[in-house]
Amino acid sequence: MGLSANSFVIADDHPLFRGAMRQTLETGYPGAKIEEAGSLDEVVQQLENNDGIDLVLFDLTMPGVRGFSGLMYLRAQYPMVPIVVVSASEEAPVVRRCMEFGASGFIPKSLGIEAIREAVSVVLDGDQWLPEDVDGASGEDSEISDLVSRLASLTPQQVRVLMMLSEGLLNKQIAYELSVSEATVKAHVSAILQKLNVDSRTQAVIAASKIEQGQWQAVLSDGD
């Protein structure tokens, strides 16, 4: 450990936690370049402005993120950048969702400094990392597993459109937010319906909410 070439993004809306994580990384990786982000938009900005990011440490509950949408978007938009979820939740369904949506690891916020450094080291070496006492194996029915796979097939722009549909935005509002035409939005919505195998916008939002249920319950109890 201790290579100076590493570059990290710490994505969390709590400055105190970002500071603690920065200290942990600086001790294990002297000379590393460490950026911070407090929202999904800031994470995207860091990834756009900095080439060669080796790892993003990503909290699920930040401004601009609903459920697993932030993770889904980042994995689709930046498939070559490893993302480790750092969460106050340690519930098995949340861990499974994160790994199914392409996370390279899952670090509970209750973890000690040495364990966090070990997790980062393992992921930087190209492997996945989970705490020993956390079960990331899928124990869900085939319908949910199929839905997760379908959601994971959405493009970055389709993920953004689905997020906005979940917020109740109309096509013209989504078009304005994304700086595209209404026809483009309609094409995205049609593709989303086809990929999720549903017949309406409402059914698409309901499908997405099924995936989020376990995560929202965890968020409500973790004090974020």
The sign of the torsion formed by the CA atoms of 107, 111, 113, 117 equals negative
Classified as helix, coil or strand, 45 is helix
Question: Whole-prediction pTM value?
Answer: 0.77
Q: Nearest 5°: phi and psi at 36?
A: -125, 150
Name all domains of the chain by residue range, CATH numbers in brackets: 7-124 (3.40.50.2300), 142-222 (1.10.10.10)
Classified as helix, coil or strand, 188 is helix
Radius of gyration of the chain (CA): 18
Burial of 39 (0-12, 13-18, 19+ CB in 10 A): middle
Q: Digits of tens for pLDDT over the chain (224 positions)?
A: 444 468 999 999 999 999 999 999 998 898 899 999 999 889 999 999 988 899 999 998 887 776 788 888 898 889 899 999 998 887 887 888 888 888 999 999 888 888 899 999 999 999 999 887 766 555 556 777 788 888 888 898 998 898 888 888 999 999 998 899 999 999 999 999 999 999 999 988 888 877 665 443 333 333 33
User: Which segments of 50-131 does DSSP mark as H helices, in order?
Assistant: 69-77, 92-100, 113-124
